[in-house]
């Protein structure tokens, strides 16, 4: 049985934003992180959120959203996204695939997440990496088959998963989507 989960990276420092952007309010009234987690819960079998070790209040708030939300604290998150991603992957080794979601990207359309999960389930390509594209630009979430988890678990510093993607082009499936939300993140308050 397939267990495709969403691994939400939420352990950043929000330096450019000026305050904790995860708690910033969207026009809908939800916080950025709440919107991202709710979307993931609606489209994936499992959800795991990677936080900093100091994020106890955020962890408590997230667990109140639903019983199926797992929270983990990356002890080396301050060293960069690679450490957070590697830590998260080590928590979800039993998943068949992981959609790497960024907490500051809550603007995906529901159809986009459905299309990505459907592609993962239907592809005949072994060990796929599914990359959403918008107007030729790659976006998030990127879905990795579990056979790439070892490589992802070795990331460190500010390395994202790009190196793993570039080293596995024969497993790559790019899907062009009419969804600017896959490339739209929140770096500054005006991005809300």
Query: Looking at the predicted structure, is the pLDDT value of residue 189 above 80?
Result: no
Residue 174's SS3 state is: strand
pTM for the whole thing? 0.94
Phi and psi at residue 18, to the nearest 5°: 100, -20
- For residues 101 and 51, what is the distance between their CA atoms, to the nearest angstrom? 13
Q: pLDDT category, 4, cuts 50, 70, 90?
A: very high
**Contact present, 4 and 97 (Cβ < 8 Å):** yes
Residue 17 has pLDDT above 80, yes or no: no
Between residues 192 and 178, the one the model is more confident about: 178
- Residue 1 reports pLDDT greater than 60: no
Lowest mean pLDDT among 56-65, 80-89, 136-145: 56-65
Instruction: Give yes or no for residue 163 having a pLDDT over 70.
Output: yes
Q: What percent of the chain has pLDDT over 90?
A: 77
pLDDT at residue 171 tops 80? yes
Kindly tell me if the per-residue pLDDT of 40 is higher than 60.
Answer: yes
User: Which two tokens mark 142?
Assistant: 């990127």
- Looking at residue 14, its pLDDT comes to 61
Neighbours of 3 (CB within 10 A): 14
**What is the residue extent of each domain of the chain?**
4-184
The pLDDT of residue 119 is 96
Among residues of the chain, what percentage have pLDDT more than 70?
96
Residue 107 has pLDDT above 80, yes or no: yes
Tell me, which fold does domain 4-184 have in CATH?
Spore Coat Polysaccharide Biosynthesis Protein SpsA; Chain A (3.90.550)
| Statement: residue 16 has pLDDT above 70 | no
174 Cα distance to chain centroid: 17
Of 22 and 179, the one with more pLDDT: 179
Q: How high is the pLDDT of residue 94?
A: 96
> What pLDDT shows up at residue 158?
86
For residues 68 and 76, is the Cβ–Cβ distance under 8 A? Answer: no
């Amino acid at each position: 049985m397939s267990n495709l989960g969403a691994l939400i990276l939420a352990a950043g420092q929000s330096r450019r934003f000026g305050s904790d952007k995860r708690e910033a309010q969207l026009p809908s009234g939800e916080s950025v992180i709440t919107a991202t987690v709710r979307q993931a819960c609606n489209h994936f079998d499992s959800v795991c959120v990677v936080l900093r070790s100091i994020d106890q209040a955020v962890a408590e708030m997230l667990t109140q959203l639903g019983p199926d939300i797992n929270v983990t604290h990356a002890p080396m998150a301050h060293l960069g996204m690679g450490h957070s991603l590697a830590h998260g992957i080590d928590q979800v080794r039993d998943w068949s695939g992981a959609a790497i979601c960024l907490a500051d990207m809550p603007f995906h359309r529901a159809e986009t997440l459905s299309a990505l999960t459907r592609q993962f389930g239907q592809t005949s390509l072994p060990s796929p990496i599914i990359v959403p594209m918008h107007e030729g630009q790659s976006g998030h979430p990127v879905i990795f088959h579990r056979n790439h988890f070892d490589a992802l678990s070795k990331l460190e510093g500010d390395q994202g998963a790009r190196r793993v993607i570039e080293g596995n082009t024969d497993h790559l499936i790019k899907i062009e989507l009419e969804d600017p939300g896959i490339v739209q993140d929140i770096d500054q308050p005006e991005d809300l």
